A and B are shown apart, each in its own frame.
Chain A
Amino acid sequence: MPVHLTVNGRAETLDLDLRTTLLAGLRDGLGLTGTKEGCDRGECGACTVLVNGRPALACLMLAVSAEGQTITTIEGLAADGSLHAVQQAFVDHDALQCGFCTPGQIMAAVGCIEAGKAGSTAEIREWMSGNLCRCAAYPQIVAAVAAAANVGR
């Protein structure tokens, strides 16, 4: 079934099996492998993308039900060759080790800051709690989100 999406500003048409998740559509259909598959059941946050500007777990969405929606993945965050403020903050604060969870962490952080929920360390920890980091880079992640939130202010 054809599915029409706007992904990172580009109109895309995918011909997909109905059972394909948005995550599989992005990775296998469009080659956008920045979005990671961790648990594939909404528990780890590695597949976090923005759907119409709001964080969503691509593994819990059927691609077909995203018809007509606007998707932003980690590949679409940098503009004009310069990193997004959250990406830059993750670099500056060493907010990763293996990096597998990082795209999801960054997309969730964008949503957290947008929602105005990055006002304190406790608030950031709560609002980023759906994104697991098995390297436990949490202190650096929280610091990066706090710094990026301040940049935006």
Chain B
Amino acid sequence: MHPFEYRKVASAAEAIAQSADRRDAIYLAGGTEVVNWLKDGIVTPSLLIDLSACEFDRVSLDAETLSIGGLARMATVAADPAVQQIAPAITQAIEASASPAIRQMATIAGNLLQRTRCPYFLGARHSALGTRPSALGTRPASAERRVPSAEPCNRRVAGSGCGVVAGDQVGAAILGASPGCVATHPSDLAVVLAVLEAELVVQGEAGRRILGVEALYPVTADPAVENTLLRGELITAVRVPVGRAAGRARYLKIRRRASFDFALVAAAGYWLVEDGVVADVRLGFGGVAARPWRARTAEAHLIGRQPTAESVARAVAAELANAVFLPGNRYKADLLAAAATKLLLDPPGLP
């Protein structure tokens, strides 16, 4: 682990001020991402700004908005009665994320700001054996035990290439990918928030701004761009509009293991059927792009159609008209259609 200075701050304003003085500072919230990245040398800040004492970690509700603090822990949010009542898909998405202990630590903003990754981005872990440091005192445990990734990855080392091209393509993106990167964004929550049209309250040196959750992510995957936050900016809250979409949307995640795994594909949304046809629908996909993928083409395709599996399959096919497949991820087209069909026709029950 690269040496760093450490400061614990008590407010967003203090965090932003500390960050302004140090161009390469990074924020530490739950730590479930950043501590791994520090160990792997993926981030090498000279200053770590610990947000854990800040107070933007509350859930609040008024007539129009469910507001979730950026520092709220995932487990706390999933168990919150207001969240479960107003936007149960948020609870579904969180409970499908990571493992219970990680959800106790990880924060909502941190979840949205996870790095887009694939096995090649994480490749360093496979070459870390045999470099255990000596006891504490002479050399800190967990420090400097990782070696640089032996795998090509444009997100790890610009211009090093992409290991997926000739390698493991099972998880690779099919929408919005670039030649340089076909990794997917891992957040389950982001898919639900895109469908609920949630907004982010973002604070930085220039003040406060509101950002639609979809606008947090680049439109087309770019290995050099993780998200659209400006340097030093923080997500202090997620604001979810109260209403039909929040109340009716559900989340369905398909993964290789029954639990504690990233999505192969995921679907979020709902439809409303009136007079035998789809009168209102929202649909979003996970596991298909370096961003949560709001399926607006599929939505437009479904309006006025009969609520059948055939309609869903055609709508998903329309959404995937511009999809680019690799030999190892062609299955995602069928699996996505199946997931969307199950989500809309037979939505998963609430916890």
Contacts and interface: CB of A to CB of B under 8 A. Distances in A.
Q: Interface size class for chain A?
A: 35 or more
B135 A65 contact: no
Q: Specify the main secondary structure of chain A where it touches its partner.
A: mixed
Given A28-B137, A55-B101, A129-B260, 9 more contacts: A18-B48, A20-B140, A56-B101, A60-B36, A61-B35, A108-B101, A115-B79, A126-B258, A127-B100
A42 interface: yes
Interface string B88-116: 00000000001111101100000000000
Nearest to A57: B101
Nearest to A67: B8
Nearest to A130: B99
Interface string A21-46: 10111011100000000001110010
B28 to A, nearest CB: 6
B91 to A, nearest CB: 13
B297 to A, nearest CB: 34
Most chain B CB inside 10 Å of its own CB: which residue of A23, A40, A64: A40
13 contacts: A1-B6, A18-B3, A18-B48, A20-B140, A20-B143, A40-B39, A45-B101, A55-B104, A57-B105, A64-B6, A115-B79, A125-B258, A130-B102
By Cβ-Cβ distance, the 7 closest A-B pairs, closest first, are: A130-B99, A24-B141, A28-B136, A129-B259, A17-B140, A19-B1, A55-B101
Interface in A112-153: 112, 115, 117, 125-131
A108 B260 CA distance: 14
B260 A42 contact: no
B99 to A, nearest CB: 2
A57 B258 CA distance: 21
A111 B32 contact: no
Contacts of A18: 3-6, 48
Interface string A60-91: 11101101000000000000000000000000
A54 interface: yes
Give the interface SS of chain B, mostly helix, strand, loop or mixed: loop
A27 B48 CA distance: 24
B141 A60 contact: no
Contact of B125 (A41, A67, A130): A41
Nearest to A126: B259
A102 interface: no
Nearest to B257: A129
Contacts of A62: 6, 28, 31, 35, 48
A23 to B, nearest CB: 7
Contacts of A16: 136, 140
Contacts of A67: 8
A112 B212 CA distance: 35
B142 A59 contact: yes
Contact of A40 (B8, B140, B142): B142
B50 interface: yes
B105 A19 contact: no
Interface string B3-46: 11110100000000000000000001001100110110000000
A111 B143 contact: no
A21 B102 CA distance: 15
A111 B136 contact: no
Given A28-B135, A60-B105, A130-B260, A115 B100 contact: yes
B3 A20 contact: no
Contacts of A112: 100
B4 A129 contact: no
Contact of B104 (A23, A56, A65): A56
A19 B101 contact: no
B52 interface: yes
Nearest to A41: B36
B8 A65 contact: yes
Nearest to B28: A65
B102 A57 contact: yes
Contact of B31 (A45, A61, A128): A61
Interface string B288-316: 00000000000000000000000000000
